[in-house]
Amino acid sequence: MQHRFLLGTRKGLFVVERTVHGWRSLPPHFPGLQIPAVLTDPRDGAWYAVVHHGHFGTKLHRSADSGRTWKEIAAPAFPPKPADAPEIRCPMRGVTIPWSVELAWCLEAGGDDQPGRLWCGTVPGGLFKSDNHGDSWSLVTGLWNRPERAKWFGGGYDYPGIHSILVDPRDPTRLGVGVSCGGYWVSEDDGATWANRSDGMRAAYLPPDQADDPDTQDPHRISRCLAEPDVLWCQHHNGIFRSTDDGRSWKAVPPPEPSGFGFAVAAHPIDPQTALFAPAEADVCRIPKAGRFVLTRTRDGGKGFETLTRGLPLDEAYDLVYRHGIDTDATGNRVAVGSTSGGVWVSEDGGDGWMPLPVRFPPVLTVRFV
Amino acid sequence: MVTVHVTQHLRREGFEGPWQVAPGSLRQVLDALFQSEPRLRSYVVDDQGRIRKHVAVFLDGEALTDREHQQVPVPGGSEVHLLQALSGG
């Protein structure tokens, strides 16, 4: 089991370690700065942190010594906009979609046979690739230039954003990305060409005749079972969906109690029937229902759900879990969850019971086991 | 020469200033500054070369309005301040 996880928060990066006295956090790296994404690279042990300055833009830092020292490296950046590039306006609001990195929102490592390969998803919807541990980045034009991008719009932020990158452990040249709002997109040639795989998702926030449009789906977060990589779980704006064929088709899962609305999902890394979710009451009320902060878990592929309560605050709790706010370790037994109220809980038994960390953290943006 | 100052908020990122650079248009002044302080570029301008939307540029006490092209002349003896444009929380 893994004994450490990173918490990217609105005001710094915290390392949380398991000691003989339980889980303890250390003073933050980058105090006061927003950490929307982190990566611990399983291939070489490097740590990466996206550091977002409110005034000065998104930066990327790398550590080769588990956070003792950090080095600022290149951040993803768009190439100069060609004179003939079309101006794309948000179909919902009419505002121009910027040709510029607003935020680096997620970061993933490539395959074991792709040393130095990193992927970075950004707002306003650009996917970037590095083959030198983040020393330089290039825009994945095969996705950015898809005409369907003109149908994408913001969800979570003002502009479209890539929040999930799912590298296939069987073949890392196959990968998918989740876009809010733009659906689930897959490449089978290392990012050269892309196709939308959102059949079966449904959007209730559009006129009914457009509910099935794959290019306007809002998968809040997509998570893959690493042991059975064809199994994907999606916490969508309009409920929970599951695919057993690598996104070629999605099936709606009957909503659990207390709600099927939420942002985060963690697929169990080994058991394709198991996944964890963090519900909020509804999209018009993004707090726990009745002040009870609970999680939900299915262990039968979504046919039924348990409501997980043991150790969680069940009275006057208003914690919301963002997209990247749940993570499991490689066994699936250790799970950590962090909320926008700064609450953090850890489970040692796959979610049966939870222990709170005795710290009032800043709002949690991302949780990731080392 | 032109004197360029940066907000003290950038000191924690390793930028101290002030710097002395040759006069010219504001873009020429900034490009000269970024020649000697290459890491500062991405803190002041975005990936398309525009002044970041939450950065303010003052030229001899006047806030800059041409944030994209930066063609305003900056004569010798001028003082340029690169500051945070207060916003957010």
Give me the DSSP letters along B3-57: EEEE-GGGGGGT----EEE--EEHHHHHHHHHHH-GGGHHHHB-TTSPBPTTEEE
| Closest C-alpha among A15, A62, A58 to residue A33 | A58
What are the two backbone dihedrals, phi and then psi, of residue B32, each rounded to the nearest 5 degrees?
-65, -40
Report residue A5 CA to chain centroid gap.
15
**What was the pLDDT predicted at B69?**
86
Give me the DSSP letters along A293-334: --EEEESSTTS--EEE-TTS--SS------TB-EEE-TTSS-
- Closest-CA residue of A relative to B38 is A74
What one-character DSSP code corresponds to residue A141? H
Question: Rounded to a whole number, what is the distance in Å from the CA of B24 to chain A's nearest CA?
Answer: 23
Cα A293 from Cα A144, distance rounded (Å): 38
**What was the pLDDT predicted at A252?**
98
Q: Considering only residues 73 to 92 of chain A, which have any Cβ-Cβ distance to chain B shorter than 8 Å?
A: 75, 77-78, 80-81
- Closest-CA residue of A relative to B54 is A55
In terms of residues, how long is chain B? 89
Interface predicted TM-score (ipTM) of this complex, two decimals: 0.90
pLDDT in tens, A213-240: 999 999 999 999 999 999 999 999 999 9
| Of A80-94, A260-274, A322-336, minimum mean pLDDT range | A80-94
pLDDT for A1 beyond 90: no
pLDDT in tens, A134-166: 999 999 999 999 999 999 999 889 999 999 999
Is-contact A327 A336, C-beta < 8 A?
yes
Nearest to B52 among A55, A75, A81 (CB): A55
pLDDT in tens, A337-352: 999 999 999 999 999 9
Nearest to A56 among B47, B52, B87 (CB): B52
Q: Place B88 in a pLDDT band, splitting at 50, 70 and 90.
A: low
Nearest to B47 among A54, A59, A100 (CB): A100
Residues of B in contact with A100 (CB under 8 A): 46-48, 50
Question: Rounded to a whole number, what is the distance in Å from the CA of A337 to chain B's nearest CA?
Answer: 24
Domain ranges of chain B: 2-84
pLDDT in tens, B50-78: 999 999 999 999 998 888 889 999 999 99
Strand partners, A308: A295
User: What superfamily would CATH give domain B2-84?
Assistant: Beta-grasp domain (3.10.20.30)
pLDDT for B89 beyond 70: no
